[in-house]
Amino acid sequence: MEQHSPQQPQQGPIQAPGMTSAQKVMFGILGVLSIILMLVGYSAYVQVQKGKSAIPNDPDRSDAYTLDTDDTDTSATEEHADAFETGTDALGVFYRNSPDDLKTYDALFEPAGLAIEWHVGAIPIEDETNIMRRVDAQYPNSIFQKGLLYDRCDDCHVFLFEAGVVMAPATFAGTPLYYMFYPIEGMGIGYVQVLVLPIEEQGKFLVLESNNPELDISYPESAEQMGWFIGQATADFSSVYTYPTEIYIPAHNATVRHKLAYKKKTEDGLNLWVSAGVNNAGGIYDVTEQLVASFNPKDEIVHQDPTYGPVFYDGFGYYIVLQDGAIQQYDLVPDFFTAEEAAPEKSMYIPGEFTDIVWNAGIDNAKDRYIVGGKLGSYGCGNNYLPLTSVVSEEEWFDETKLAHIGTTKNGAPVYEATNPKENKYYTDLFQYGYFASQAAEETRDDNGNELYTEEEKYQRFVADHPVFFWQGPANTWRVFHKAKYQSLAECGKPVVYLYPEETTAIHVQVAPNGGFTKTDPLYPDGGWNVIAHPDGRLEYPKNGQEYPYLFWEGHANGFQFREQGFVIAKKNVPTETRELLYKAGLNIQEAEDFMEFWQERMMASPYVFVTFVDQRTFEKAAPLSIVPKPDTTIRVMMNFEPLDAWKDVEPLSIRTPKRVGYTAVEWGGVIQ
């Protein structure tokens, strides 16, 4: 996959000088011929905008799509009789449920729906000023005047990427569609992503929302505050943004499983913090640098999916390119992985899968689960294996001449282990990373918790367990796998949820850390907690008749990184300076005291400690929190700390204190390393 640099799209049609009648006829004939040639060429490939290479196209796939809207009565007055406001304006019939809501135009694209010709890779707009000033004459000063941001910075402005062009209905035909990213402060500066259509007559943007909420197309925050949006209209974007969980690749005799949307690469793996399009929408993987991914013409097409088009293989993993240019990446699941038994629910670890391997005599691995290995890295509440790094053929520590045969797969392929595990970096790293969280580590202590073995003896026990194996897969690439029980202890430490309704209310709470729970209190039932919440924060739990100050959970939430910006605090200042940070992050006195009761001793274990926080919107993707009825204000504070032996200079993290308005929910937690 490749990136391309910004290029400005054409701002309007090119006007021709006056012509004679004969010239007009000739130009008309040439125009028709041009269109025919374009259609013929388009059936062979999709030409990517901005000078990118063409993506080989499935004959049945088109990049002009009709987005169906729900069948809705065009009478907003009848359909939404209880709404705050209903009516008709120059754009159409609308309703809104409160003064702070945008107008909703249910029937705007009916009956035929909205047709869009998507760019296969969004086009960055180098200078958004002219477009933004059509809707806000004070832009960019208005970002600060209206309170989106407090302090000025180089990237404190709106970023626009042209996603495509509307083809129908005729009212909007030829209008460009934009992915908009505008800055907002919280735990540092983040960006809210919305899909917008400029409405020239009103000098505003229309927000396009999906009627498939799982696609995560954002409703704009501070919409009324900024005054940029006339309203919103809903369409079915599922044909644009959905992708398969698994794809079978006959040429490689293997199934590939979805891992993640394309992310910015670093020397150590993936940069999971950088602001990017949700699910790589439009191929956008770095907003502020305006970087958009595209397929690499050197990558091999290993399969043609009848729905999603070509599947590419880049030597490490697989990927597909969606209709708007988003790249979804897949990792190989070898044919000898099998799920003979159901994986344990709410597991502390990635459960792993059993293998259909006949192990050599003396190796008792048949009852062990395995996971795909790779580079060890930390992203989220728990150290994890960076996706798409299981190919180890070129790693310095890997030497195929130093392998010993230890088993055979169901298809007769041999699997191996290293003959030099004491010197092999993968083994030593895995031992430090995952051994002490495994059941094997528990067996090295007596009933009183006393250690029975030296570190060297523990490592010998680890190696004797045959924890790692190597297999030569498609394209003769060597891949690494290891036992699932060797995973990190790191987790989200004591996140607790407080609820403050304005009156006593029955509330349903669901939290879904993507790595599973390790502990909950009260016990988390299938479907979530149902509590009776009081304005003073007391929670009644009818299921056991007890009362709680908050709901407690611990677990693993993966797929995000903490920032490099933050704060270094000397040991003696931890009690005071940490409280100040917590107040600024939005906690009240009692919540901050609860936090410090759990964390203060851990934070004072070294002369200094580095403290930082994850952005609330980022954490929401890794550990979604659903509360019904929905709070007026939700504050989620997730901290990470790193013990330091000496002071280091860091860039301070900008924190915007949230305002508690009405019914409020608060959650705090941290990362136990």
Burial of 507 (0-12, 13-18, 19+ CB in 10 A): buried
Q: Average pLDDT in the 120-137 region?
A: 92
Tokens of 155: 């990237």
Rounded-to-integer distance, Cα 428 and Cα 438, Å? 15
Higher pLDDT, 78 or 426: 426
Q: Positive or negative CA dihedral for 578, 583, 589, 595?
A: negative
Rounded-to-integer distance, Cα 114 and Cα 169, Å? 6
Strand partners, 189: 185
- 350 pLDDT band (50/70/90 cuts)? low
Rounded-to-integer distance, Cα 91 and Cα 106, Å? 11
Rounded-to-integer distance, Cα 455 and Cα 468, Å? 19
pLDDT in tens, 656-673: 888 888 999 999 888 755
pLDDT (0 to 100) of residue 515: 66
Tokens of 163: 């996603």
pLDDT (0 to 100) of residue 220: 61
Q: Average pLDDT in the 605-611 region?
A: 90
- 3-state DSSP assignment of residue 303: strand
pLDDT (0 to 100) of residue 614: 80
- 3-state DSSP assignment of residue 78: helix
Q: Average pLDDT in the 614-631 region?
A: 81
- 211 pLDDT band (50/70/90 cuts)? low
Q: What one-letter code names the amino acid at 393? A: S
Tokens of 581: 């940070």
pLDDT (0 to 100) of residue 149: 65
Rounded-to-integer distance, Cα 96 and Cα 108, Å? 15
Higher pLDDT, 144 or 215: 144
Residue count of the chain, please give it. 673
According to DSSP, the β-strands at 357-359 and 551-555 are unpaired
Q: How many Å is the maximal CA-CA distance in the chain?
A: 100
Residue 162 phi, psi dihedral angles, 5° rounding: -75, 120
pLDDT (0 to 100) of residue 20: 42
Using the 8-state DSSP alphabet, how is residue 586 labeled?
T
Confidence check: pLDDT of 188 > 90: no
Confidence check: pLDDT of 186 > 80: no
pLDDT in tens, 31-81: 444 434 333 333 333 333 333 333 443 333 334 443 444 444 444 456 677
According to DSSP, the β-strands at 229-235 and 103-104 are parallel
Q: Are 488 and 385 in contact (CB under 8 A)?
A: no
Residue 336 phi, psi dihedral angles, 5° rounding: -90, 5
- 3-state DSSP assignment of residue 403: strand
pLDDT (0 to 100) of residue 291: 92
| Domain residue limits, the chain | 22-241, 376-483, 491-672
Confidence check: pLDDT of 91 > 70: yes
- 184-193, 263-272, 459-468, 517-526 — which is least confidently predicted? 263-272
Q: Average pLDDT in the 598-614 region?
A: 88
- Other CB atoms within a 10 A radius of the CB of residue 449 amount to 7
Confidence check: pLDDT of 135 > 50: yes
Confidence check: pLDDT of 572 > 90: yes
Range picked from 31-45, 490-504, 556-570 for highest mean pLDDT: 490-504
What are the DSSP calls for 168-217, one per residue? ESGGGTT-EEEEEEEEEEEBEEEEEEEEEEEETTTTEEEEEEES-GGG-P
- Other CB atoms within a 10 A radius of the CB of residue 551 amount to 24
pLDDT (0 to 100) of residue 558: 62
Burial of 288 (0-12, 13-18, 19+ CB in 10 A): middle
Rounded-to-integer distance, Cα 263 and Cα 360, Å? 40
- E strand or H helix at 7: none
Q: At what angle do helices 425-434 and 455-464 cross, to 10 degrees?
A: 110
- 216 pLDDT band (50/70/90 cuts)? low
Using the 8-state DSSP alphabet, how is residue 556 labeled?
-
pLDDT in tens, 253-271: 889 999 888 987 765 555 5
- 279 pLDDT band (50/70/90 cuts)? confident
Burial of 414 (0-12, 13-18, 19+ CB in 10 A): middle
- 21-25, 114-118, 256-260, 583-587 — which is least confidently predicted? 21-25
Higher pLDDT, 182 or 443: 182
**CA Rg value for the chain:** 28
- 3-state DSSP assignment of residue 620: helix
Give the chain's mean pLDDT: 79
- 344 pLDDT band (50/70/90 cuts)? very low
